């Protein structure tokens, strides 16, 4: 089963750096695993923690947030603000019991196609080690069925 399982990873890439970095990796034909689905965002500071949680709830196995290096933000300070959110959110999720490595962060500039590929390699590897996400995942549609009849709500997951 785990042999066939391939993690689904959602990557939030900032428009100005990391997205361009991914693009560069593509045009330079630098290979990276096909496990990531990219959502382009204006800035890594735009990431609302709700996005990450929602992705995890919908069964994504890992999340990567990537933005411009410090000092390179198109909006001057967006990545700095994002960095604080990331730091606290990452710690908090791990504290709750979400495995370390499910949610990862990176700085990738528009010139770093190679780095982007490396980051994706690493993230995919980490998440493969963790296995499919279980915590916080909402089981498709058998949820919420007559609450009083749910045998043991803990065993749902």
Partner 1 sequence: MTLKLDKKDLKAFLETLMEEYDLFAPVKLAEGVSIYKKIDSPDEVDLSTENPQKPAKEVFFPQSETMFRYEKAGKRYQMTSTEGVERERVILGARPCDIQAFSLMDDVFLGKEYKDVYYGNKRKATTIIGLACPHPLSTCFCSSAGGGPFLRKGSDLFLIDLGEMFIVELLTEKGMAFQKNKFFREANTKEISLAKGIEEKASTKADASVPIGGIDRRSDLMMENPFWDRMHEKCIGCGVCTFLCPTCHCFDIVDEAITDKGQRVRNWDSCLFPLYSQETSGHNPRPTGRERTRQRLMHKFNYFPKNFGRVACVGCGRCILYCPVNFDIRQAIKLTSPKEIKKVKDEVDLTRQ
Partner 2 sequence: MIQEKIREKARELLSNKTVDLIIGFGEGSLPLRTTPRFIRDPEKVNRLIWNSFCENNLATYLHKFSKLKVGIVVKGCDARSITALSLEKRFKPDQLFLMGVPCQRMVDRRKVGRAVKGEILQAREENDLIHVKGDGFEIALEREDFLYPSCQACMHRNPIHVNVTLGDPVEESPLIESYHEAKRFEQMSPEERWNFFERETSRCIRCYACREACPMCYCTECFVDSSNPKWIEKGLSPSDIQFYHIVRAYHQTGRCSGCGACERACPMEIRLTYLTQKLNRDVKELFNYETGIEPDIPPPLSTYEIEDKQDFIK
CA distance 43 to 39: 11
1 binds partner 1 (CB under 8 A): no
4 binds partner 1 (CB under 8 A): no
Footprint of partner 2 on residues 5-64 (CB under 8 A)? 49-50, 53-54, 57
140 binds partner 1 (CB under 8 A): yes
154 binds partner 1 (CB under 8 A): no
| Closest by CA position to 60, among listed 3, 12, 18, 116 | 12
Minimum distance from residue 60 beta carbon to partner 1 (Å): 14
27 binds partner 1 (CB under 8 A): no
CA distance 20 to 15: 7
């Amino acid at each position: 089963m785990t042999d066939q399982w391939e993690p689904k990873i959602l990557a939030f890439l900032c428009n100005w750096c990391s997205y361009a970095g991914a693009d560069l990796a593509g045009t330079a034909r630098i290979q990276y695993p096909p496990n990531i689905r990219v959502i382009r965002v204006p800035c890594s500071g735009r990431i609302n923690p709700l996005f990450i949680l929602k992705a995890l709830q919908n069964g994504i196995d890992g999340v990567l947030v990537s933005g411009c290096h410090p000092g390179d933000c198109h909006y001057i300070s967006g990545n700095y603000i994002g960095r604080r959110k990331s730091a606290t959110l990452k710690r908090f999720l791990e504290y709750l019991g979400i495995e370390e490595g499910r949610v990862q962060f990176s700085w990738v500039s528009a010139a770093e196609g190679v780095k982007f590929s490396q980051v994706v390699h690493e993230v995919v590897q980490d998440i493969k080690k963790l296995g499919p996400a279980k915590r916080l995942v909402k089981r498709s549609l058998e949820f919420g069925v007559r609450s009083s009849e749910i045998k043991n709500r803990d065993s749902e997951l």
